[in-house]
């Protein structure tokens, strides 16, 4: 028998292709509540058909925090546990039991495993701990985009990695609203380091190199910017912007700063090694990749990027070793890459070329 009343809540718009999969995943909850923000397809009717409590309301001007708060308001006050998800997310079966096992006296929030992306072989690529499971009272959403859940003063958060939520995004959906919403967010709260970092990253995505550099430096200079992993990412993104401006010396400097900031993360080593390989500085690339590969533990944070943990790092090391005429070692690393990406023709061809070089 269930000990608590668990309610899932979400927002959606035009996501009919995800509805059945999502509801099937969420049905371990007692009730499911969805705020439809103006779908023009069959999303709302499909949800209602499957027993979901649906309310339709257009949020204008659009803000994610306003929409999420309106969806949270739909959850009855007697709910013990609120679970916020999106329709492109899927819980691994058994999540309810794991949740009730850790929701002991005084607990108000739970962190769980969130697989944000997967590689082409179905393996998790970016994984971190998410914490959108919470009590009913004292919580609200804040920020127009990349919204965060504000908490009561007496919050008690626990971690349950056995709860797993997988994200399967609709890559056809535009994220065009993100940049203006991030600019709004920073205007509203210029001292918030998190969204300053996100805004700088967004400028980088858009190829707005100078705006990206300026904003990311602002992030680094904020008094609240203290998390070394996020600071390291800002430094890497500054380096990418300088590469976009065709200024590799400044990029190299910032990659080195990123390594110093968080030497336990692989990403900075790998990105700089790729630049060194492109510049035929293979000895330096080799040293960097050796350091990266020695880092065995992948921290459960959103900063992680797939290229530092998938076949790319081993293929890169294989190419570096090949250029250094370290052919047996080159083949070893190329085979490691192939083990991760067994259908990649390029890596297969590289293995054959290296093997012929060894046996000629």
Residue-wise pLDDT for 42-94, tens only, equals 999 999 999 999 999 999 999 999 999 999 999 999 999 999 999 999 999 99
pLDDT in tens, the chain (360 residues): 678 999 999 999 999 999 999 999 999 999 999 999 999 999 999 999 999 999 999 999 999 999 999 999 999 999 999 999 999 999 999 999 999 999 998 999 999 999 999 988 888 999 999 999 999 999 999 999 999 999 988 899 999 999 999 999 887 777 778 999 999 999 999 999 999 999 999 999 999 999 999 999 999 999 999 999 999 999 999 999 999 999 999 999 999 999 999 999 999 999 999 999 999 999 999 999 999 999 999 988 999 999 999 999 999 999 999 999 999 999 999 999 999 999 999 999 999 999 999 987
Structure tokens at 281: 């500085």
Would you mind telling me the total number of residues written for the chain in this entry? 360
Q: What is the pLDDT of residue 1?
A: 67
Q: Is 142 in contact with 192 (CB distance < 8 Å)?
A: no
Contact in structure between 79 and 6 (CB atoms under 8 Å): yes
Domain membership of residue 183 (yes or no) is yes
CATH number at residue 245: 1.25.40.10
Backbone angles phi, psi at 352, to 5 degrees: -65, -40
Whether residue 172 lies inside any domain: the answer is no
Same domain, 12 and 158: yes
315: in domain: yes
Q: How far apart are CA 213 and CA 222, in angstroms?
A: 14
User: Total structural domains in the chain?
Assistant: 3
- Tokens representing 79 are 């709910």
For residue 90, being part of any structural domain is answered with yes
Q: What is the pTM of this model?
A: 0.91
| Residue after which a domain boundary falls, among 304, 323, 349 | 304
Boundary (domain end) residue, out of 136, 167, 198: 167
173 belongs to a structural domain: no
256 and 128 within one domain = no
The reply to whether 74 and 160 lie within a common domain is: yes
Question: Are 76 and 110 within one domain?
Answer: yes
- Together in a domain, 357 and 273: no
Q: Domain of residue 358: give its range.
A: 310-360
Residues 117 and 147 in one domain: yes
Cα(first)–Cα(last) distance of the chain, in Å? 69
* CA 249 to chain CA mean position, Å: 29
Which residues on adjacent β-strands are paired with residue 81? 6
**What pLDDT is recorded for position 360?**
75
Do residue 206 and residue 241 come from a single domain? Answer: yes
Query: What's the confidence (pLDDT) of residue 119?
Result: 87
Among the candidates 134, 167, 200, a domain finishes at 167
């Amino acid at each position: 028998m269930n000990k608590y009343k668990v309610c899932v809540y979400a927002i959606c718009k035009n996501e009919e292709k995800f509805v059945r999969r999502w509801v099937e995943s969420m049905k371990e909850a007692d009730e499911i509540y969805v705020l439809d923000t103006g779908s023009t397809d069959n999303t709302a009717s499909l949800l209602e058909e499957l027993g979901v409590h649906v309310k339709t309301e257009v949020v204008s001007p659009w803000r994610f925090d306003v929409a999420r708060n309106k969806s949270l308001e739909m959850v009855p006050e007697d709910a013990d546990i609120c679970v916020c998800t999106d329709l492109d997310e899927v819980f691994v079966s058994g999540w309810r039991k794991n949740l009730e096992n850790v929701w002991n006296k005084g607990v108000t929030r739970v962190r769980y495993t969130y697989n944000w992306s997967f590689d082409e072989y179905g393996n998790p690529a970016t994984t971190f701990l998410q914490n959108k499971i919470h009590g009913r009272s004292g919580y609200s959403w804040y920020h127009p985009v990349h919204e965060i859940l504000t908490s009561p003063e007496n919050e008690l958060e626990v971690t349950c990695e056995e709860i797993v939520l997988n994200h399967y995004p609709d890559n056809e959906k535009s994220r065009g609203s993100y940049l203006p919403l991030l600019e709004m967010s920073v205007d509203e709260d210029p001292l918030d380091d998190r969204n300053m970092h996100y805004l700088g990253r967004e400028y980088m995505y858009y190829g707005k190199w100078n705006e990206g550099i300026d904003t990311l430096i602002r992030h680094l200079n904020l008094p609240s910017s203290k998390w070394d992993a996020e600071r390291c990412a800002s430094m890497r993104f500054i380096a990418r912007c300088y590469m976009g401006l065709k200024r590799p010396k400044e990029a190299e400097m910032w990659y080195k700063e990123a390594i110093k900031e968080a030497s336990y993360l692989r990403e900075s080593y790998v990105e700089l090694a790729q630049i060194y390989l492109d510049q035929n500085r293979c000895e330096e690339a080799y040293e960097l990749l050796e350091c990266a590969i020695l880092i065995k533990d992948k921290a459960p944070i959103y900063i992680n990027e797939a290229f530092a943990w998938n076949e790319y790092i081993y293929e890169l090391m294989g190419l570096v070793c090949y250029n250094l005429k370290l052919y047996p070692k080159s083949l070893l690393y190329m085979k490691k890459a192939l083990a991760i990406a067994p259908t990649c023709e390029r890596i297969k061809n590289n293995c054959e070329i290296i093997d012929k070089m060894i046996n000629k």
